[in-house]
Structure 1
Amino acid sequence: MTEQHPAADRSAEIAAGLEHVHGRIEAACAAAGRTDRPRLIVVTKTHPAEDVLSLARLGVTDVGENRDQEARPKAEATAGLCAEASVTAPAWHFIGQLQSNKAKHVIRYAAAVHSVDRESLVDALARAMQVRAERAASGEVPAREDLDCLIQVDVDPREPEDRPTDGIGGRGGAAPEDVPALAARIAAAPRLRLRGLMCVAPRGIDPAESFARAADLSARLRDGHPEADRLSMGMTADLEEAVAAGATHLRIGSDILGRRAHLG
């Protein structure tokens, strides 16, 4: 019997994980009575560019990262691997908390930023996109489309002192009352597109309650900004609750790619 190459083993493992998650999504849609299917963003943090190539070969069109220092070289490496393999590279979604001084780096590879949570970050992204447009006009870099922006909203109703402090730390996000002003600032910024909301279910609270709160905020946002129709929520542990609440984008990692040691 022919011995299977480790790379083939890994590709088969990823394919099995992807099939499993697609099955979960289909079952969740059926249970919720949904005929529309949320878009899957495969979170690739701590996994190599070779895994992203495998995902691309399996038809995955969107991948997510939460750290610029990891995403930047991985996106470049993935572009090279996909070009060599004649495979369309997935679009990159930045989903982690973002420092304003990293905006100029993130816009080099990200099609969307899901974690816009303050006006200073809006301004930094707009400045970075303006500089990029000027460089593109002079032929220094390729032109790119406008940047899709989602406002990360904090859906934890507890006071800060009542929130868990162990484990992974705070989830981040703008206060619900700050969403209208942030939305207006993004909508007015050239080369930025307001696309909707993102949230992460707080620890210690039923995710269904948190996602229902986000869905209500999303509906109110769309009253003034119909184009902001994306609702990015739901991860491996709570995708069923997110689908039931109306998520348009799911961010799933470990159920597809497995777990790897944390990168320092």
Structure 2
Amino acid sequence: MIDTAGRQDQLAASLAEVRERIARACSRAGRPAEDVTLVAVTKTYPASDVVLLAGLGVTDVGENRDQEAAAKAAEARAAGATPRWHFIGRLQRNKARSVAGYADVVESVDSLRLVSALEHACDERPGKLEVLVQVSIDGDPARGGAAGDDLWRISDAVAASPSLRLGGLMAVAPQDWDPDRAFEQLAVLHRRLLAAHPAATTVSAGMSGDLEAAVRHGATHVRIGTSLLGMRNPLR
């Protein structure tokens, strides 16, 4: 039997700590705390946690596996929780229609073929699907993300789409990079994107271990899992 009250207390305490970290990081950067949105990364955790987090005021939730996310979004919705769902994992084109059915934002678009797949997947969707173009900080294709001229070609294609909306950029700092170096590079790219697409104001960057560096360099969204929900169980 799930100890709902106990889990709610755990989440409330962790949420307060994470929000305080964000507020301190914003203060040091000379930014209002309201500038930064917390995306709770709930992968491997049950829909009941999403419901509890929504009750605690969390508005945005991130998932990275479609099979898990689709079922979880439906279960949470049935329980009355309707956060904004962010798909943050690498997306296979054959999963585009499923993801477009529940996600409000897809943060991991890194190819023109994926842009096309999402366009076709949105033909029955009311309203546009928000898209963030994933940046490859180090240019390693194994990590996902777009680099060089591909980044701008993909951004332009999303912006021109009748069914997609270009929200901005997303990136993960490579493990062997200093986070400040990684997010400073992302900030430079974002300024270039804004020159061409002024409405693409979102920068999704920073996780439990490096959110301060991300906020320092202009992140508008931070994706927090472990610091909020605890250590994950191994994926099966």
SS of 2:137 mapped into structure 1: coil
Question: Rg larger in 1 or in 2?
Answer: 1
Equivalent of 2:74 in 65, 76, 79: 76
Distance 1:74 1:201 in 2: 27
Equivalent pairs, count: 234
Any residues of structure 2 matched to 1:14-53 within 5 Å, and which?
14-35=11-32, 36-53=34-51
Q: TM-score, normalised by structure 1?
A: 0.86
Compute the displacement of 1:123 (Å).
0.1
Is 1:146 equivalent to 2:131 in the alignment? Answer: no
SS of 2:90 mapped into structure 1: coil
Q: TM-score, normalised by structure 2?
A: 0.96
SS of 1:69 mapped into structure 2: helix
Which ranges in structure 1 are unaligned for 5 or more consecutive residues? 83-87, 134-143, 161-169
1:14-68 deviation per Cα after TM superposition (whole angstroms, max 9, x unaligned): 0001000000001101111112531110000000000000001001110000110
Letter in 2 for 1:109: Y
The residue number in structure 2 matching 1:136 is none
Equivalent of 1:212 in 184, 188, 199: 184
Compute the displacement of 1:177 (Å).
2.5
The residue number in structure 2 matching 1:89 is 82
Distance 1:176 1:50 in 2: 41
SS of 1:54 mapped into structure 2: helix
Say whether the 8 Å CA contact 1:176–1:217 is kept in structure 2. no
Q: CA-atom RMSD, angstroms?
A: 1.3
Distance 2:4 2:203 in 1: 35
The residue number in structure 1 matching 2:8 is 11
Distance 2:148 2:57 in 1: 36
Distance 2:183 2:122 in 1: 31
Structure 1 runs, 4 residues or longer, greater than 3 Å off = none
SS of 1:151 mapped into structure 2: strand
Equivalent of 1:200 in 150, 172, 189: 172
Q: Percent identity?
A: 50
The residue number in structure 1 matching 2:226 is 254
Equivalent of 1:238 in 193, 206, 210: 210
Letter in 2 for 1:95: I
